[in-house]
Amino acid sequence: MAALWIVHRDPARRAALLRLAAEPDSLAGAPTDRQFEEAESPRIVLLGVQGDFEAELEFAHRFAPRLRGAAWILICEPGDLAETRRLFDTLPAEVLAYPPDAIALRRRLRAARQRRLADTLSERRARDVLAARFARWFGDLELPDLLRALDPQLARVPLLVRGEPGSGRGLLARYVHAFGGTTGGAFLSVPCDEVVSPEALLVRLERASSTPGAERAVAICLEDADRLPLGVQHELRSWIELAPPGGVCAGAALRWMGTAGPAFAPDAPSEGEAPIVSALAGVTLELPPLRERPALVPALVADTALDWANAQGQRTRRFSDEALAALQDYPWPGNLRELERVVVRTLASDASDPVPAAALRFGDEAPALPYQPPAPEIAEPGRVLRTDELRAPASATTPRPAPPSPTAAPSPTAASPFTPAPPRSGEPARPTSAAPAEPPPAAAEPEPGFLVSDRGVSTLPPPPDDSADALARRFLAAIAHEIRNPLVPIRTLAQLLPQRFEDPEFRSRFASQVGEDVARIASVIDRMAAFADLGPPGPGVADVAELLDQILESHRSAIQERRLLVLKELDRSQPLVHCDPEHLRFALAGIIGDALARAPERGDLYLASKHHASGLRGMPSVRVLLRHHTPAGIARHGAVEGVSVAENSLELVMAESILRGLGGRLTIDATESDETLLLVDIPA
């Protein structure tokens, strides 16, 4: 690698500069030479300016973004010093008159080389502490896009770090700055709750421009960028895509970073995404919450205890197995930072070794629910769910439902939708293995309102016929509907085939259409076979929130390709239900898959869950709500026997059959022309 580039359009002056610099590891050429395109980056660029400056300006324009770590020295005629500084205003360079003094030039080259290689002790210590903390917090994670974020060639690409507060979003942004393309520059962290206008942020940027290292690079990290006022977001988006006004930070490598709450598809911005988040998502890193990484807790506790003991000059103490188990079971709404605070608070208030579970100091604040993202801003009325009804009240003492013991009897389940009808008079009763039918719901059972529209609050209507016979008829009608639809084009094309057999375009269309429709029929048969293979439900415990996350993850690629907006709000404080997990997975997968299939391109789907103390016939339940929109004219098309197309869906009929067998309930509301609402209650 050449340590020095000497660039000058005049060969004689280029040779003179080579002699004056006395640098054996040099690469010399004209501003238009192609050799610089393929050469490795130097530590110093010595650029001679002459004539109309055009070739030199073009050279600096092309190479300055690439050579962020290099020092620049400009050599010009004595009378052109002021003009050179004006034209190369954004280039952090020293300007010298030609011919430079040989001793002074070599001294400047040596100083520039040493300045780029040496770091202060404080910088070294800060980097070591940062690297150690990064290894402690993220050593168990695979972050495939982290290498892209650290690539110096991508130093101008915005970075978005998504996750819950306390999950290490800010630490990860600082790590990328310290070891990525803006290394050695200034880092400006901006709490977005303090930014009320673009002008307020501009003042902060002007201050950052005068901090050490800002002449080389500036990294601006917008903390909780998704919480900025919408007007400020639109203004900042233009700054990120173009440049800040007034030439602020114009002479440095400027990188925009931001942190935001978690999202299902952070790398696929949609129309419902916050403008600033879409602009920052050049490279996106997503951090999981601590409750999804319980295996990390013991190591993090031990490392935090060791650091605290070293800082206090004390011997290292450990936490008992019972204390570690309690820490692993804790939901950690504050994530990694809260865990460190609890460990430090406990060690400071108790001298035991090992530290018992009773000594843990979680603080006075209630752990409540995990992170709840801000409600999305939707301009169209009638499409906002009442999230205050979906969020359970915060409580630090609310225990999670304990799994049933192996000897506990399973809860009674409802009758199968295909339970035989009672025998006629005089006909002997036939044996059946089905569980007894569930009692009718109490007339006084309240049904909380879940819809808020421009017409006010409404409740879900009860199904017109909840009998097993009605469900069986719907099941058969749904099968006929699913198979008849693909058969219609097959029949039509088959009738036309003798007449148009010689038409190659028709034969190609015939093969393509028939292949697609046969595959669709085969998929219907496969789902029916899987439904039949489930067998009777058994006892078990299922985590509804985890199941919903897994099902959505299995549809990630389809959601990204069709650019669907999926908003979810899942209650993770009490997500357990008592039922067969595989049966519940099949039912929920069918409901979500059907909704995603019906959603139009760039459509939206809302998914929420909540624990209810008396949500199902007066008993505890976990309630799942799913709402999606269907283009006008489709929601009612294909209705059978006065039932909407959603209620006539084979997937929904199978899901309703399974949920009844689990003692649960599925309610469908498709009274709106372009909206379908599904409500699932599962015994908790």
pLDDT in tens, 50-74: 888 999 999 998 888 777 668 889 9
In terms of pLDDT, which residue wins out, 667 or 10? 10
Phi then psi for 177, rounded to 5 degrees?
-65, -45
Give me the residues paired with residue 272 across strands.
none
Q: State the CB neighbour count (10 A cutoff) for residue 83.
A: 13
Cα–Cα distance measured from residue 621 to residue 682, given in angstroms and rounded to the nearest whole number? 5
pLDDT at 23: 83
pLDDT at 69: 67
pLDDT at 672: 53
pLDDT at 495: 76
Q: Using 50, 70 and 90 to split pLDDT, how confident is the model at 249?
A: low
Residue 595 and residue 496 in one domain: yes
pLDDT at 263: 73
Residue 113 and residue 180 in one domain: no
- Please say if the pLDDT value at position 637 is more than 50: no
Cα–Cα distance measured from residue 483 to residue 476, given in angstroms and rounded to the nearest whole number? 11
pLDDT at 440: 42
Any idea what the CATH number is for the domain that residue 324 is in? Answer: 1.10.8.60
Q: Which two tokens stand for residue 678?
A: 């599904």
Task: Fill in the DSSP letter of residue 570.
Answer: -
Domain boundary among 96, 117, 138: 117
Residue 134 and residue 102 in one domain: no
Residue with tokens 């238009």: 32
Cα–Cα distance measured from residue 64 to residue 45, given in angstroms and rounded to the nearest whole number? 10
Mean pLDDT within 427-451: 37
Q: Using 50, 70 and 90 to split pLDDT, how confident is the model at 400?
A: very low
Mean pLDDT within 251-263: 82
Non-local CB neighbours of 371 within 8 Å, separated by 6+ positions: 164, 165, 261, 262, 289, 333
Mean pLDDT within 317-324: 92
Burial of residue 523 (number of CB atoms within 10 Å: 0-12, 13-18, 19+): exposed
pLDDT at 515: 84
- Please say if the pLDDT value at position 287 is more than 60: yes
Residue 259 and residue 299 in one domain: no
**Pairing, β 217-223 against β 253-260:** parallel
Query: Residue 378 falls within a domain, yes or no?
Result: no
Domain count, the chain: 4
Which H/E stretch holds residue 551?
helix 544-554
Query: For 7-16, 86-95, 321-330, 623-632, which range has the lowest pLDDT when averaged over its residues?
Result: 623-632
Cα–Cα distance measured from residue 209 to residue 204, given in angstroms and rounded to the nearest whole number? 9
- Please say if the pLDDT value at position 225 is more than 70: yes
Determine the Cα angle at 594 with ends 590 and 600, to 5°: 155
Residue 126 and residue 111 in one domain: no
Mean pLDDT within 28-46: 89
Any idea what the CATH number is for the domain that residue 73 is in? Answer: 3.40.50.2300
Cα–Cα distance measured from residue 556 to residue 592, given in angstroms and rounded to the nearest whole number? 12
Query: In 197-333, which ranges are continuous DSSP H helix?
Result: 198-208, 230-241, 275-280, 297-312, 321-329
Residue 181 and residue 225 in one domain: yes
Cα–Cα distance measured from residue 368 to residue 35, given in angstroms and rounded to the nearest whole number? 62
Burial of residue 341 (number of CB atoms within 10 Å: 0-12, 13-18, 19+): middle
pLDDT at 363: 65
Tens digits of per-residue pLDDT, 151-205? 877 888 899 999 999 999 999 999 998 888 787 788 888 888 777 788 877 887 7
Residue 525 and residue 664 in one domain: yes
Radius of gyration (Cα) for the chain, nearest Å?
33
Residue 311 and residue 353 in one domain: yes
pLDDT at 147: 85
Query: For 38-47, 50-59, 111-120, 269-278, which range has the lowest pLDDT when averaged over its residues?
Result: 111-120
Cα–Cα distance measured from residue 532 to residue 226, given in angstroms and rounded to the nearest whole number? 46
Q: Which two tokens stand for residue 626?
A: 């799913």
Do the Cβ atoms of 683 and 411 come closer than 8 Å?
yes
Task: Identify which of 103, 52, 105, 54 has the alpha carbon closest to the alpha carbon of residue 75.
Answer: 105
Task: Answer left, alpha or beta for residue 517, where phi above 0 means left and psi between -120 and 50 means alpha.
Answer: alpha
Query: For 317-331, 431-445, 482-496, 542-556, which range has the lowest pLDDT when averaged over its residues?
Result: 431-445
Query: Residue 270 falls within a domain, yes or no?
Result: yes
Residue 328 and residue 301 in one domain: yes
Query: Residue 328 falls within a domain, yes or no?
Result: yes
Q: Using 50, 70 and 90 to split pLDDT, how confident is the model at 407?
A: very low
Q: Which two tokens stand for residue 271?
A: 């129309």
| Residue spans of beta strands (DSSP E) within 2-51 | 4-7, 26-29, 44-48
Query: For 213-227, 242-256, 360-374, 547-561, which range has the lowest pLDDT when averaged over its residues?
Result: 360-374
Non-local CB neighbours of 618 within 8 Å, separated by 6+ positions: 442, 445
pLDDT at 49: 93
Q: Using 50, 70 and 90 to split pLDDT, how confident is the model at 467?
A: low
**Pairing, β 604-616 against β 619-629:** antiparallel
pLDDT at 114: 60
Query: For 121-125, 573-577, 599-603, 675-679, which range has the lowest pLDDT when averaged over its residues?
Result: 121-125
Q: Using 50, 70 and 90 to split pLDDT, how confident is the model at 674?
A: low
Do the Cβ atoms of 562 and 602 come closer than 8 Å?
yes
Do the Cβ atoms of 186 and 218 come closer than 8 Å?
yes
Range of the domain at 46: 4-117
Query: For 225-234, 469-478, 537-546, which range has the lowest pLDDT when averaged over its residues?
Result: 469-478
Three-state DSSP class for 217? strand
| Residue spans of beta strands (DSSP E) within 429-483 | 451-453, 456-458
- Please say if the pLDDT value at position 395 is more than 50: no
Q: Quote the percentage of the chain above a pLDDT of 90.
A: 20
Mean pLDDT within 359-372: 56
Query: Residue 390 falls within a domain, yes or no?
Result: no
Query: Residue 446 falls within a domain, yes or no?
Result: no
pLDDT at 173: 92
Domain boundary among 90, 117, 144: 117
pLDDT at 246: 65
Q: Using 50, 70 and 90 to split pLDDT, how confident is the model at 648?
A: low
Task: Answer left, alpha or beta for residue 402, where phi above 0 means left and psi between -120 and 50 means alpha.
Answer: beta
Any idea what the CATH number is for the domain that residue 472 is in? Answer: 3.30.565.10
Task: Identify which of 353, 322, 357, 321 has the alpha carbon closest to the alpha carbon of residue 342.
Answer: 357
pLDDT at 444: 36
Residue 541 and residue 675 in one domain: yes
Residue 518 and residue 644 in one domain: yes
pLDDT at 5: 92
Do the Cβ atoms of 168 and 336 come closer than 8 Å?
yes
Which H/E stretch holds residue 36?
helix 35-38
Domain boundary among 99, 117, 135: 117
pLDDT at 408: 37
Q: Which two tokens stand for residue 450?
A: 């879940």
Residue with tokens 């950052």: 208
Give me the residues paired with residue 619 across strands.
616
Q: Which two tokens stand for residue 269?
A: 């911005």
Query: Residue 47 falls within a domain, yes or no?
Result: yes
What is the rounded average pLDDT for all residues in the chain?
Answer: 75
- Please say if the pLDDT value at position 391 is more than 70: no
DSSP character string of 553-616: HHTHHHHHHHT-EEEEE---SS-EEES-HHHHHHHHHHHHHHHHHHSPTT-EEEEEEEEEEEEE
Give me the residues paired with residue 254 across strands.
218
Q: How many CA atoms lie within 13 A of 373 on its CB side?
A: 21
In terms of pLDDT, which residue wins out, 14 or 390? 14
**Pairing, β 456-458 against β 451-453:** antiparallel
Cα–Cα distance measured from residue 183 to residue 176, given in angstroms and rounded to the nearest whole number? 8
* N residues, the chain: 684
Cα–Cα distance measured from residue 637 to residue 470, given in angstroms and rounded to the nearest whole number? 21
**Pairing, β 619-629 against β 675-683:** antiparallel
Burial of residue 325 (number of CB atoms within 10 Å: 0-12, 13-18, 19+): middle
Query: For 266-280, 501-515, 560-574, which range has the lowest pLDDT when averaged over its residues?
Result: 266-280
Query: For 390-399, 487-496, 581-590, which range has the lowest pLDDT when averaged over its residues?
Result: 390-399
pLDDT at 380: 34
Query: Residue 674 falls within a domain, yes or no?
Result: yes
Residue 195 and residue 211 in one domain: yes
Query: Residue 392 falls within a domain, yes or no?
Result: no
